[in-house]
Amino acid sequence: MKKEILDIINYNSRISNKDIAAMTNSSEEEVAAEIKQMEDNKVICGYSTLINWDNTDCEKVTALIEIKVTPQRDMGFNKVAERIYKFEEVESVYLMSGAYDLTVIIEGKSMKEVSRFVTEKLSTLEYVTSTATYFVLKKYKEHGVIMTDENRDTERMLITP
């Protein structure tokens, strides 16, 4: 039940409890209770909207930054990650296996703004040994949704046996 609800709202968090109940053959109350429980247990951590900013007038720049750090005794990478994820500019922080340690995704209004953040805030942090910044040129697909203006007109006939 929980898994099925998650699979449904994963791609449409605006769907009503009533519809979820109908789809899963359960009651609205049951669905509401399950969702509440998952919110309380931090299984569901929030609800966000998938926006293609390229189709708006707003300027947005996204950058992916690879960071190498020196892990701290007793605290490993967590403490360093915390110092980074607390910045409002930071969208996501992941601990990585491989050649570097943290991936940080940053959204800003302009390249300048992002650059300033990286040079002034990130690279100057104690324990950060190096950074490599990559600006996103175009988002083709995000969270399973194709963002390009791919023509999705279905060519299915309207009536078939």
Q: List residues binding other proteins (CB under 8 A).
A: 4, 7-8, 12, 15, 19, 21-25, 154, 156-161
Query: Going by C-beta distance under 8 Å and a sequence separation of 6 or more, which residues neighbour residue 156?
Result: none
Smaller CB separation from other proteins, 19 or 30: 19
Q: Min. distance of Cβ 49 from other proteins in angstroms?
A: 17
Smaller CB separation from other proteins, 116 or 141: 141
Q: Min. distance of Cβ 123 from other proteins in angstroms?
A: 40
Say how many C-beta atoms besides its own lie within 10 A of residue 23's C-beta.
Answer: 13
Q: Min. distance of Cβ 34 from other proteins in angstroms?
A: 15
Interatomic CA distance for residues 160 and 147, integer angstroms = 31
Smaller CB separation from other proteins, 22 or 33: 22
Smaller CB separation from other proteins, 35 or 65: 35
Eight-class DSSP state of 76 = B
Complete edge-to-edge strand list for the sheet that includes strand 61-69 = 90-95, 102-108, 61-69, 128-135
Q: Min. distance of Cβ 52 from other proteins in angstroms?
A: 18
CB 55 within 8 A of CB 89: no
**CA 2 distance to own-chain centroid:** 21
Two structure tokens written together for 73: 């005794």
Q: Min. distance of Cβ 157 from other proteins in angstroms?
A: 7
Smaller CB separation from other proteins, 99 or 157: 157
